[in-house]
Amino acid sequence: MSGWLDALERLAGSRAKAGLTRQLRPRPAADFVVDLAGNDYLGLSAHPQVIEGSARFLDAYGLGATGSRLVRGSTEAHAALESSLAEWMGAPAALVFSSGYLANIAAVRGLTTVCDLIVSDAYNHASLIDGCKISGTRTIVAPHNDPAGVAAILDAHPGQTALVVTESVFSVDGDLAPLAELHRVTSARGALLLVDDAHALGILGPRGAGGVAAAGLAGLDDVIVTVTLSKSLGGAGGVIAGPPQFIRHLIDTGRTFIYDTALPPAIVGGVQAAVSIARAADDRRALLSSRAAQIVSRLSAAGFAVVPPAAAVLSVPAPGPEAAVAWAADCRDRGVAVGCFRPPSTPDGTSRLRLTLNAGVPDAAFAHALDVIVECAP
């Protein structure tokens, strides 16, 4: 075996000893597992109107976009979705990417054209962290959800134009960032605020417009928002929303926009239908709120340290990575899918199950899933 393959085998062995081996588990179309692991919060991925919307554009445009957005990949469907998303989120303009990961990288890189310092929350998603690294801009990691800590960092660097980067609802533990307080800190110091609103869109704010809208910050010219279309909207893709000048800058210079094949029109059509449903889905949001209370009550009564979720994500600490893997596997064997998060996916080095709420799961199945989680605990 070649030397570099030997090196990879040694690294794989080290990961296995630490309980950090990961596996792909392809699922069939007829999957009867109760889903408390995915991100389909509003249960729209298989909604008949969403399927119909996707099928209609599949028939009209074919399977793929056939090129990048600037070559042949932009369709009337893309433009309509961008308009709908901007109006829903209360933003002046929006730009659709093929994934949320690429949108986050583009947002950070694009903003560092005019910023020379990044202040990044310690618990930010990997895509934001990678955007900071790729930008080459000096990055200081701020304590998690600590506006005073952010203020101290900014005050220690006078004369520098800064970009503060955070999520609204954090993807591992599901806690909510103090966005209004953060904006008071950034606006007072001439800094920009970038918010990844992926886990809040469709759940929080008026008509589900997101965490930024819920905090009263929608449409401000010093707040830029990214979201994914793969969570509450049940599809795929990413979006950057903000001032039209910034959107223009991204179209002209954003490498993950310019050089990437566009999101397929069939996905765009399905997501457009999902947006219409999500905006009127107060009943589904109420169901998620009720289930959040139910899951906290059930797990707390069983002795687990859980915090009421801000949206639809909740974590349950595990004794270690091996215990988390075994817990998740036992749940799966009994027909319940749960997330298993271990380092390096967990910023504090603590392993846990991540549970997500899905309005499409029937009440009886949800109650059964909670019983299974408790009974399978290590």
Could you give the residue numbers annotated as active site?
Answer: 39, 125, 167, 171, 196, 199, 231
CB 242 within 8 Å of CB 92: yes
Q: Measure Cα distances from 248 to 68, 110, 229, 371 in Å.
A: 16, 11, 21, 51
Compute the distance between CA of residue 169 and CA of residue 281 in angstroms, rounded to an integer.
19
Does the N-terminal peptide bond of residue 344 adopt cis geometry, omega within 30 degrees of 0?
Answer: yes
Taking alpha carbons only, the member of 161, 225, 213, 170 closest to residue 189 is 161
Quote the strand ranges of 99-149, DSSP E.
117-121, 139-142
98 Cβ contact list (under 8 Å, min separation 6): 236, 237, 238, 260, 261, 262, 263
Compute the distance between CA of residue 75 and CA of residue 78 in angstroms, rounded to an integer.
5
303: left (phi over 0), alpha (psi -120 to 50) or beta: left
